[in-house]
Structure 1
Amino acid sequence: MDTTVNFNGSLLLKDTNFLNHENRGLRYGDALFETLRIINGKIVFWEDHYLRLMASMRILRMEIPMTFTMEFLQEQLLRVILANDMENSPARVRLTVFRNNGGLYLPKSNDVSFIIEASALKDPYYTLDPSSYEVALFKDFYVNANKLSTLKTSNKLTHVLGSIFSNENNYDNCLLLNQNKFVVEALNANIFLVVNNTVKTPPIMDGCLNGIIRKKLKEIFTRLGNYAFEESSISPFELQKADELFITNSITGIRPITKFRKKEYSTKVALDLLGKLNAKAIAERT
């Protein structure tokens, strides 16, 4: 079956040439994206994704079309699912919004276009992969901690180069540092550190992505009350003192880190959180 994408409401085969060399996402990284899970035609944490997208568009001074309601974009996402015969299976969906062609650094217009694409997922709900997962620090380039670094923009060269470094050195992932040498996030996920009964994650002001699963785990920790939860800077020296490290994103959910340098980690807290995250995902499907 040929994969179908949604470009501004028109369903097109994925190999259709509908973008050109003037695309501002290509030229300047002038684009945002959201990556979502859709299970049996239900979008997981859709309201959170939608509100983050709207806030990010305002920060980037993109003109938000009157049609860009939560209901309209939900309909457009589900049209792609139906067109690709994924309405009864789990899917990974990417919604990209970019400023329209025209201008150099200064755009001729702040109007936007969107693309929606989908691919199949193996599991309908979050699972915990028990295999080994080793990470390293990526020190060639740093995350510049500011409001832009917290957004899901298409400006991801540090993450691209970190991924190449990770692959060349047989690591499963890398951890990124900001200009103050604090641990910010993994290449594709937020990071959490566990020491005794305390769970830490970097604050947004350190430059980490304002992640959806990060937000959901914060809500879980607040409700549970059996973990001390902190948003505070993480020094690289703390990594080897931790009992547990895990990373989170909207597609994988929770992924335990099993090794950093010579330190190996448990997965106790990650296992405890998995069922609670899945329950939240089920309850908050749209």
Structure 2
Amino acid sequence: MINFNGELLFKENIKLTTDNRGFKYGDGIFETIKVVHKKVIFWEDHYFRLMASMRMLRMKIPMEFTLEFLEKEILKTVDVLEGVASFRVRLNVFRKDGGLYTPKTNAINYLIEASESNYKTKETYEIDIFKDFYNYSGLLSTIKTNNRMLNTLASIYANENDLDNCILVNERKGVVEVANANIFIVKNNIVKTPALTEGCIKGVVRGKVIDLLIKNKDFTIEETVISPFEIQKADEVFITNAIMGIQAVTKYKKKSFNTDLAGKLHASLKVLQITGI
């Protein structure tokens, strides 16, 4: 079932026209959200990121788009899938039909779809650089728009080369993120992740991991510029997103990594998901 503007419909009954702006111009944004046992994980963080993104893209935020309203709509959507404990939910917001580059209206539609989430962290996880195209730095790159062509091409490249993921770099050849997640590197007691000014998505779990590391006296966290060469010198590399949580990277080119910190943070994140504290 799909939730389209509050109405639950079978997929085959969803009618998006050829004037749909998300289809024609990528004029939409989305949140990928994990729901476990009818609890929307880190929902406040997702909600406030969505609101900030809508304002940035000059979308008209409906009066009913409160934290409580959208949470209720998400839970209404997952409730129809009986016997499932963990869900992957995509909340998509796109401008209503009409116009060319200039839209006829800034009013929006929303669509919520849910599927079972059964991601399990992998014991081995190999990545490499995707060099064909750049992920350009800038504020627009930090939000999750419908335009994910670069991520699609990097994922195809990973699949063709028997990789689990690919690192995206910006026009300055700095590390940005991987195709579907933020990235962290560890050297001695310093943990680095690309700054938002490098063009990475402002990930919800990225923020949670940064908070965990700030509280950990054994490590120093830096949001900064990262060269691909630093990855080869790292002791540890891990990636984060809302569905996987934390996935340790075990291999980059010929370099292998340990997974100690990633394992500890993954356990801490699970506690955070349950308690919300």
TM class, shorter-length: over 0.9
1:28 to 25, 37, 44: 25
Q: 1:128 touches 1:274 (CA, 8 Å); kept in 2?
A: no
Task: Tell me which amino acid in the other structure corresponds to 1:160.
Answer: T
Q: Once the two structures are aligned, what percentage of the paired residues are identical?
A: 48
Task: State yes or no: 1:188 paired with 2:184.
Answer: no
Q: 1:143 touches 1:158 (CA, 8 Å); kept in 2?
A: yes
Partner of 2:212 in structure 1? 220
Q: CA deviation at 1:181?
A: 0.3
Distance 2:81 2:18 in 1: 28
Task: State yes or no: 1:282 paired with 2:274.
Answer: yes
Q: Structure 2 matches for 1:85-124, cutoff 5 A? A: 85=82, 89-122=85-118
Q: CA deviation at 1:49?
A: 0.1
Distance 1:207 1:149 in 2: 5
2:53 to 53, 56, 59: 56
Partner of 2:37 in structure 1? 40
Distance 2:275 2:144 in 1: 25
TM-score (ref. length: structure 1): 0.95
Q: CA deviation at 1:228?
A: 1.1
Secondary structure at 1:246's aligned position in 2? Answer: strand
Deviation string for 1:187-230 (max 9, x for gaps)? Answer: 00000000011100000000000000000011111122221111
Tell me the C-alpha RMSD between the 2 structures: 1.2
Partner of 2:262 in structure 1? 270
Q: 1:8 touches 1:113 (CA, 8 Å); kept in 2?
A: yes
Partner of 1:252 in structure 2? 244
Deviation string for 1:119-158 (max 9, x for gaps)? Answer: 11226xxx6432x211110010001101110001111111
Secondary structure at 1:141's aligned position in 2? Answer: coil
Distance 1:17 1:205 in 2: 38
Partner of 1:206 in structure 2? 198
Distance 2:234 2:104 in 1: 50
Task: Tell me which amino acid in the other structure corresponds to 1:217.
Answer: V
Task: State yes or no: 1:243 paired with 2:232.
Answer: no
1:138 to 130, 150, 155: 130
Q: 1:143 touches 1:207 (CA, 8 Å); kept in 2?
A: yes
Task: State yes or no: 1:69 paired with 2:66.
Answer: yes
Structure 2: where are the runs of 5+ without partners? Answer: none
Task: State yes or no: 1:162 paired with 2:149.
Answer: no
Which stretches of structure 1, 4 residues or longer, exceed 4 Å deviation after superposition?
A: none
Structure 1: where are the runs of 5+ without partners? Answer: none
